[in-house]
Amino acid sequence: MKAPRHLAELLKRLSQEYKNSETALHFRNPYELVVATILSAQCTDERVNKVTPALFARFPNAESLAQGRIADIEKLVQSTGFYRNKAKNLQGMAQRVVETHGGRIPDSIEELVALPGIGRKTANVVLGNAFGKPAGVVVDTHVKRLSFRLGLTKQSDPVKVEKDLNALIPQEYWTEFPHWLIWHGRRVCTARKPACERCIVAKLCPKMGLRLKASSSRISPLKRGIP
């Protein structure tokens, strides 16, 4: 995809507005970030941060998590939703880490995605934020939505969105750029009612998704099938 002419200015404005932004998940090492990111699926970061202190106190490393009782893990992560599957993935991840990597979280995309419960998004989060070795732009719902609205991609599949962003965004920004979009998506460019009037990049934004939505809302009642 060809880079939009305003890309440099877009990056400049976002970086100035969110220069101190970082992942909202609390962690102290790669193991804790892997666990927190697995738990964050279909769950808010705030809820995950309430759960992980007790979880890490009980299972401070991959070895202890690998040997833990699955019922105990389920109980500790229950409030994050889909807790049985998450507990299974957490223990499977820990067991594989112990068996294959000596208890240390690996630092390559290939090795991370081979672990239970870890896809490209989680792997990118861990590599960029825990190891400082970004392998690609993290694409969550905020990044996917804002990237489309800003005209940085025409794709809806996260893997294809990541491919477009990796080609457009300089690698030095691969870790920070998702944080900028996530915070902007939460504070300003929300899904249902974006606050374009106070958006720092409004003049650079083609508002692609919003134009499509507005066009569909102007269809006549007869064309909608409304009597």
- Measured distance CA(206)–CA(30) in Å, rounded: 38
Rounded Cα distance between 80 and 43, Å, is 6
- How far apart (Å, rounded) are the C-alpha atoms in residues 198 and 114? 43
Tokens of 132: 């400082």
Question: Per the structure block, which two tokens stand in for 16?
Answer: 């100035």
Query: Which H/E stretch holds residue 33?
Result: helix 30-39
Catalytic residue among 86, 121, 144, 207: 121
Positive/negative CA dihedral, 110, 116, 121, 124? negative
- Give Cα separations from 129 to 135, 210, 223 (angstroms): 11, 32, 50
Chain-centre distance for alpha carbon 184: 13
Candidates 45, 140, 160, 163; catalytic one: 140
3 state SS of 153: coil
Residue 44 Ramachandran class (φ > 0 left, ψ -120 to 50 alpha, else beta): beta
Instruction: State yes or no: is 203 an active-site residue.
Output: no
Catalytic residue flag (residue 164): no
Q: Show the tokens assigned to 151.
A: 């005209």
Residues with catalytic roles: 121, 140
